[in-house]
Amino acid sequence: LGVEGLTLAFASLPEKQADRAKARAAELVSHGAMGAVITLGAMGSLALIGGQTHRANAPSITPIDTTGAGDAYIAGFLTARLNGADVPM
């Protein structure tokens, strides 16, 4: 999977596969990532960090263009973590 040694691995799943997010995060961690974050579009995201699962809901919006949404999410997540933010439960 190419994630060995990563502090955080990011992946995405379609909204209709949100029930697979925890297993996908666990798979990334089992292949060597220290933690994993799975984005799920309008279904939010799931993070597996330090052995704990964290779930975040997405706000309800009417998107005009989703281009770059995942990249923006990753940038925001990493910026918050690098500035000392905890991952809420």
Its pTM stands at 0.91
Tokens of 4: 């060995």
Tens digit of each residue's pLDDT (9 = 90 or more) over 19-65: 999 999 999 999 999 999 999 999 999 999 999 999 999 999 999 99
pLDDT at 89: 58
Q: CB-based contacts of 24: which residues, under 8 Å, 6+ apart?
A: 11, 13, 36, 38
Contact 40, 69 (CB under 8 A): no
